[in-house]
Amino acid sequence: MYIVVGLGNPGEEYQNTRHNTGRLAVAFLEKKEISGIKIVHLDTFMNKSGGGVAKVVKSKKAAEKLVVIYDDLDLPIGTMKVSYNRGSGGHRGIESIVRALKTEAFIRIRIGTSPVTPSGKLKKPQGEKAVEKHILSDFKKPEMDVLKKVFKKLEPTIEALVEDGLQKAMTVGNS
């Protein structure tokens, strides 16, 4: 059984923000009937995610079946990347989980939230204030439409993970 967690912040004021991409993704997945997964909703803020995850993932071995879905500024909106046993990339929610579980050996599904230029070049916000403003602002309607297409790709990615393993999930999710 895989434990699937979507990172974000609790509270209505954060509901549709870019930083809540993980929570939005898990809400989408919850409507699907995917066997072999257990969706866990954290009641913690992003930077304290490790405490919530540690309540359901009790060992390093159990962490290998943990799937964490979250927003990533290093990816353009409309993209998704599946990875395993990687660093945090500076994401404080992931840093919190790594500290709490004492391992990086878990699955990540990163969903892009950065804007792109008309030619498709990444337009990542620069500077701490710009980043904070971006991640804590709500998705615009066209961005939400793009995000929903990414969420639709999540279902076959998770199914591939459960049925055929991580490599197959990476092939499906990273294509």
Tokens of 82: 């599946």
Please, how many CA atoms are within 13 Å of residue 120, restricted to the half-sphere of its CB? 2
Q: CB–CB of 173/81 below 8 Å? A: yes
In this structure, are residues 105 and 84 in contact, taking their beta carbons and an 8 Å threshold? yes
Does 41 qualify as catalytic in the annotation? no
**Phi/psi at 32 (5° precision):** -90, 155
Q: How many CB atoms lie within 10 A of CB 125?
A: 16
Instruction: Give 40's strand partners.
Output: 5
Asked if 147 and 107 count as a contact pair (C-beta separation under 8 A), the reply is no
The per-type count for the chain, helices as H runs and strands as E runs, is: 7, 5
Active-site residue among 19, 41, 91, 134?
A: 19
Catalytic machinery residues: 19
